[in-house]
Amino acid sequence: MNRAADQPDLNPLREGISARAVPQPCTIVIFGATGDLTHRKLIPALYNLAADGDLPPAVTIVGFARREKSDSQFRKELENATRKFSRQIVRDDIWKTFGESIFYHRSEFEDEAGYNALAKRLDKIDKESGTRGNRLFYLAAGPDQFESILKHLKAAALNETCKGSWARVIVEKPFGTDLASARELNHVVRNSFTEEQTYRIDHFLGKETAQNILVMRFANAIFAPLWNTHYVDSVQITAAETLGVESRAGFYERAGALRDMVQNHLLQLLCLVAMEPPTDLSADSIRDEKVKVIRSLRRLSRNEVAANIVRGQYTEGAIHGDPVVGYREEQNVKPDSQTETFVALRLFIDNWRWADVPIYMRVGKRLPKSATDISVHFKKAPAVLFNRGMTDQNVLVIRIQPDEGISLRIHAKVPGASFRIEPVKMDFHYGTSFGKASPEAYERLLLDAMSGDATLFARRDEVEEAWAFIDPIEEAWHAKKDAPGLFFYPAGSWGPEEADDLLARHGRAWRRL
């Protein structure tokens, strides 16, 4: 008897075909179905999954929103959006079948009757399509709507499942705006769905290179002995964008770079770099180790915030040679706005592995180029033999986007009679080595949610611990007395000079991107 057939819950016909958890037939209900996220990301991602044959049979999509429209109008809108935003060309024959599985359900988010009607409609779909009572609720609406949606889902018993089926909810960020609101949101979610049913999405974790950090660290023995305070001098994480606030000024004015990027994306990347090896690859084993990293982050007192964190805001300048306005001149931004569009941080993880290794992070808008990467700077070799007067370090760079890959800077002898040493780069590019295009982050994450794999989703304690770290910084910035200043930088530069000083005073510099 073969191995798969020995285990009653496994499909023996899947053996050898797919190494990943298998997604199950379900109905995906998207709240906020007429919004940008649905059009730009979710439906194109689901279409691509269908076109690649990765979507389970009978997956049905129900869009839930306020505006009046028919199924066919909704399908047409989504088709147009998918043709525009899909990573692969939309085929008429595939869209025809895929489109037929999309329905529109009009209702106010606060209307109880709308949810009762939704429940009946989902039951009907189950019977007709074989979705077996499995439901995936995607909260793509504004966070102010979450509470109402979740309460009504519970009231309509849509959070409950019968034997053998499941109900899950995907919550889009922001997961609160501080610890108190995150706790409140988690409380609201928990009132309707258990933690096991809850999937907090951070699309950074769906990126191929973010996942590859774990592979690189734990599938290659050469890095393990070096990955600690004895050999690592410092770590830098940069998330730079050339874009300004675009149409997000309303949100951004309230959030700023720290809440928008550091609390979630950058801390998640840091966790992957700094975590201990998990005991296994289950979602909770990995998340247990990640949350320990956040818990170990040294909390900063109000005085320490000014010394270790620099916040900045862009003024007018130029991006790729084109003049751009300053942040305060952007539409819907207050002319005296104190919102940071740039933040640089010097952090420490107070645990055995990372003691005294500074972690430098910077994130900003209107920087000279868009790039996200992590660099591990190793300690210098002893200043003897070839190394007298040498300032360069070995640097391992993990490029998250664009041009995903890994490079290692080492030293080599320049050919010739003298011993001249120069740095050289060993470079691995995903695009060069693997011709296959990586799936979009949302494709991977939606598939994982349908499969019940929460590894790449943030757990409640991760989110709350991250806010517990961020809150004192925000409080220091907004203190009435002695608040650290906001520094300005021209658009198209690498941030305020003070961010460079953060490293320079310890004899370091930001890596040149």
What residues are labeled active site?
A: 265
- Contact flag: residue 164 with another protein (CB under 8 A): yes
Which range of residues in 263-271, 277-285, 435-443, 488-496 is near another protein by CB under 8 A? 435-443
DSSP state of 483: P
| Type and span of the H or E element at 49 | helix 43-51
Task: Give me the least distance between CB of 433 and another protein, in Å please.
Answer: 6
User: In the stretch 386-415, what mask flags binding to another protein with x, by CB under 8 A?
Assistant: ----------------xx------------
Listed ranges 289-297, 305-313, 370-378, 434-442: which one lies at the site for another protein (CB under 8 A): 434-442
What whole-number distance in Å separates Cα of residue 94 and Cα of residue 25? Answer: 18
Q: Is 15 a residue that touches another protein (CB under 8 A)?
A: yes
Query: Closest Cα to residue 41, out of 365, 403, 404, 439?
Result: 439
Spacing of C-alpha 349 from chain mean position: 21
CB of 48 to another protein, least distance (A): 11
Kindly state the smallest distance separating residue 12's Cβ from another protein, in Å.
4
Q: Are 97 and 55 in contact (CB under 8 A)?
A: no
Residue 17 binding another protein, by CB under 8 A: yes
The residue among 58 and 249 lying less far from another protein, judged by its C-beta, is 58
The least distance separating another protein from the CB of residue 221, rounded to whole angstroms, comes to 15
The helix or strand, by DSSP H or E, that contains position 486, with its residue range, turns out to be strand 486-490
For another protein (CB under 8 A), the number of binding residues is: 45
By the 8 A CB rule, do 238 and 513 touch? Answer: yes
C-alpha to C-alpha distance for 339 and 333, rounded to whole angstroms: 9
Smallest gap from Cβ 163 to another protein, in A, equals 9
- Which range, of 20-28, 205-213, 439-447, 468-476, touches another protein by CB under 8 A? 20-28
In angstroms, rounded to a whole number, what is the distance separating the alpha carbons of residues 198 and 423?
Answer: 47
384 near another protein, judged by CB under 8 A? no
Residues 74-103 that bind another protein (CB under 8 A): 93-94, 97-98
Examine residue 34 and tell whether it contacts another protein (CB under 8 A). no
Q: What is the C-alpha separation between 136 and 167, in angstroms, rounded?
A: 6
Of residues 19 and 385, the one with the C-beta less far from another protein:
19
Q: How many CB atoms lie within 10 A of CB 309?
A: 24
DSSP state letters, 125-189: HHHHH--TT-EEEEE-S-GGGHHHHHHHHHHTTTT---TT--EEEEEPSP--SSHHHHHHHHHHH
Looking only at residues 132 through 161 of this chain, which bind another protein when binding is defined by CB under 8 A?
Answer: 132
Interface positions with another protein (CB under 8 A) = 1-2, 4-5, 8-9, 11-19, 22, 24-25, 50-53, 56-58, 93-94, 97-98, 128-130, 132, 164, 402-403, 429-437
